[in-house]
Structure 1
Amino acid sequence: MSMLRALRRRVLTPNVRETHLDRRGFHVKNPEAKNQLETVGATFLQGYAYAVEARSAAEAEEWLETVPRAYRGFAYEGAGMGAVMLDSLTGSKRLAGFLEGEGARHDYMIWVGVGWAMARLPKFLWPDVTEIDPVLRWLILDGYGFHQAYFKTDAYVRKPHLTHPFSWKGGDDTYSQRVLDQGIGRALWFVGGTDPDVVAGLIAAYPEHRHGDLYAGSGLACTYAGSADETELKRFAEHAGKHLPNLAQGSAFASEARVKAGTIIDHTKMASRVLCAGRTPEEASRVCLETRPTGCDGGAIPAFETWRQEIARQIVVPAYSQKGASA
């Protein structure tokens, strides 16, 4: 059986060379940023491999918990993709097993990983997203959009005026395009090699009405994946201009994901302070939790979007002002 699991891993797992910046044609800012982004990619694939090779979700989680804290969320993201691939091909319940176990603390990242799997699977093998939390299931499209920009960069990034029709059972198709842009924006942090000037230039090439969502995705990536110093993040915030609330909202999402999973690192603290108006990651996370809706009306503007808007509205107000107002 161990040989069968090893074969399953070999057949189902993408080649790590596909995550190398040189192979992808992504911008290289410096050796340190290159190493960081390639480590993220390798860790994602490590998590994917754990998900498809382990005998159970519990065994996979034991392996995932050995990944260094800074990168553990990326491993769970990869595991989310691997679980869906395995479930779709074998009929197992690996995804459910993760979400019922230790993976529940990493559910944001796991949902993003589900989107990666959907980008690789034929539509008839997609999971039934209607059974997923109506607010958080939008994160699946973030993963789908990231995958497309990361692996189909010519079509999704280098030809920014192209449109890519998309339809799924998870919600309104028009709004779905906006969430895909949030995933594309997250990928732009990788395509641009964590260089704020390059990333801002990539965003500027898209039609103006897409900039807010692209900055939101990039805000999440620059806070969660990192590899930018304080000066660079301040410059990125200047580039965002009127879209600074979107950038801050994405950053707050990243803080919430790391706070919930217990994977806060020094970069999270610095990025949250710079992009979330002086807040600690815990304070930014609290804004996300306190504004999260309890359901979804299923309309053209779903609860996920009203949640994002409220986070953006609150997060740009300095933390000391919030404390003063509640005193």
Structure 2
Amino acid sequence: MPTMAGSVRRLLLTPSLSEVTFERRGFPATPTETAQHLEAIPQAVLCGFEWALDTRSLWELERRLSLVRPEQLGFAYEGATMACTILDAIRGGRGRRARDLLDGPGRPHLFLAYIGIGFAMARLPRPLWRRVLPELTGSSPYHPTMSWLAVDGYGFDRAYFDTSRWVERQHVPAPYPWQGRPGYFHRAVDQGIGRALWFINGARPDAVAAAVRQFEPGRHADLWSGVGLAATFAGGISREGFRELRGSAERYRDEVALGMVFAVKARSWAGHVPEHTEWAANALGEMSVDAAVALADDTAVRGGESGADPQYEVWRQRIRAHFTSLPD
């Protein structure tokens, strides 16, 4: 049963499902089946967001989220984490909603939950960002290393909802010292923008490649890794479409394969690997899902390692090196 305060918050903060459709966003027309598949993803995010605003307890939120079909469940947790992060921020960062969600039922969906934190960042003033990342009490090998996905989520959100500025005019945001690394901030943002390009261009490999080429060349690698992650996790194309995507990436095939590995790991960690993710692993990395998961695990950065680059980027470098070392 929703609370009165929760209902008011939902009405004030939640856009309608139609707001995220391709037609409303002004994205190019794409075949109906593909559009419906891709549009269902941000709609699942919005449902999770609404439920987290409305519910009285974590138990009730978990029960609602459990009704979402497995392929969409991670996206619903994105939205729920976004809402919990905003509610915690409204309390001056003293709330525990996001922490309790990610320490509890959201733990298998941690990769996407970080992205949900990034969605919240897009709606919060920067002074509040220093408290958006919860201190998780449960053990997780991916916290806080993969919290750079929150910055990725911020980039995705801005590209999706303010496309003219962030994609057409190629806006570069001011640095922010996420994990004390302001110099890496824009690179993680670009990974999120790359993910958004997959949706903005209707999962059409040729159109996505053309969109990436419009950016300054120094940004192409991170954009392509975002494309690979989005294509592998979200899908929207056939087995042959993934092979076309690999060809379209040309000299950035290793970056697309890097994004694929992270997406496969996220799907595997959540306990559900859809067929399109298997197709992506085979086409983009010429490997099985199990091999991609093993690569992610074997290259993972262990606690205590430090260096010039954030641990997240070190992990990316190790995965990329695997594909770079392979013969053409």
What's the TM-score once normalised by structure 2's chain length?
A: 0.91
Q: CA deviation at 1:98?
A: 0.9
1:58–1:98 CA contact under 8 A, matched in 2: no
Report the counterpart of residue 311 of structure 1 in structure 2.
319
Report the counterpart of residue 295 of structure 2 in structure 1.
287
**Compared with structure 1, are the counterparts of its residues 254 and 238 closer, same or farther at alpha carbon in structure 2 (3 Å cutoff)?**
same
Report the counterpart of residue 217 of structure 2 in structure 1.
208
Instruction: Please give the per-residue CA displacement for 1:3-55, whole angstroms capped at 9, x wherever unaligned.
Output: 33222322232222220111111122211111111111111100111111111
2:117–2:133 CA contact under 8 A, matched in 1: no
Instruction: Please give the per-residue CA displacement for 1:196-223, whole angstroms capped at 9, x wherever unaligned.
Output: 1100100011111111110100001001
Instruction: Please give the per-residue CA displacement for 1:252-305, whole angstroms capped at 9, x wherever unaligned.
Output: 11111111111211111111111121x222321221122110236665421111
1:76 maps to amino acid: Y
**Compared with structure 1, are the counterparts of its residues 23 and 197 closer, same or farther at alpha carbon in structure 2 (3 Å cutoff)?**
same
Q: CA deviation at 1:72?
A: 0.7
Report the counterpart of residue 324 of structure 1 in structure 2.
none
CA separation in 1, counterparts of 2:109 and 2:178?
24
**Compared with structure 1, are the counterparts of its residues 130 and 95 closer, same or farther at alpha carbon in structure 2 (3 Å cutoff)?**
closer
1:21–1:38 CA contact under 8 A, matched in 2: yes
2:257 aligned to 235, 248, 255, which one? 248
2:56 maps to amino acid: R
Q: CA deviation at 1:130?
A: 8.8
Report the counterpart of residue 27 of structure 2 in structure 1.
26
The worse-fitting range, judged by mean Cα deviation, of 169-178 and 79-88 is 169-178
1:107 aligned to 110, 113, 117, which one? 110
CA separation in 1, counterparts of 2:306 and 2:82?
26
Q: CA deviation at 1:315?
A: 4.8
Q: Structure 1: which 5+ residue stretches go unaligned?
A: 322-327
Q: CA deviation at 1:173?
A: 1.7
Q: CA deviation at 1:83?
A: 0.9
Matches within 5 A, 1:22-171: 22-90=23-91, 91-126=94-129, 127-129=131-133, 131=135, 133-160=143-170, 162-171=171-180
Is 1:301 aligned with 2:309?
A: yes
**Compared with structure 1, are the counterparts of its residues 315 and 52 closer, same or farther at alpha carbon in structure 2 (3 Å cutoff)?**
farther
1:296–1:304 CA contact under 8 A, matched in 2: no
Q: CA deviation at 1:172?
A: 1.7
**Compared with structure 1, are the counterparts of its residues 80 and 128 closer, same or farther at alpha carbon in structure 2 (3 Å cutoff)?**
closer
**Compared with structure 1, are the counterparts of its residues 3 and 33 closer, same or farther at alpha carbon in structure 2 (3 Å cutoff)?**
same
Matches within 5 A, 1:184-199: 184-199=193-208
CA separation in 1, counterparts of 2:206 and 2:69?
30
Q: CA deviation at 1:308?
A: 0.5
What's the TM-score once normalised by structure 1's chain length?
A: 0.91
Report the counterpart of residue 10 of structure 2 in structure 1.
9
**Compared with structure 1, are the counterparts of its residues 305 and 75 closer, same or farther at alpha carbon in structure 2 (3 Å cutoff)?**
same
Q: CA deviation at 1:63?
A: 1.1
Q: CA deviation at 1:164?
A: 2.4
CA separation in 1, counterparts of 2:90 and 2:106?
21
The worse-fitting range, judged by mean Cα deviation, of 164-173 and 18-27 is 164-173
Secondary structure class of the residue paired with 2:106: helix
Secondary structure class of the residue paired with 1:55: coil
1:230 aligned to 223, 239, 245, which one? 239
Q: CA deviation at 1:58?
A: 2.6
RMSD of equivalent CA atoms: 2.0
CA separation in 2, counterparts of 1:130 and 1:75?
19
CA separation in 2, counterparts of 1:221 and 1:303?
22
CA separation in 2, counterparts of 1:40 and 1:28?
17
Query: What is the aligned residue count?
Result: 317
Secondary structure class of the residue paired with 1:157: helix
**Compared with structure 1, are the counterparts of its residues 316 and 144 closer, same or farther at alpha carbon in structure 2 (3 Å cutoff)?**
same
**Compared with structure 1, are the counterparts of its residues 315 and 248 closer, same or farther at alpha carbon in structure 2 (3 Å cutoff)?**
same
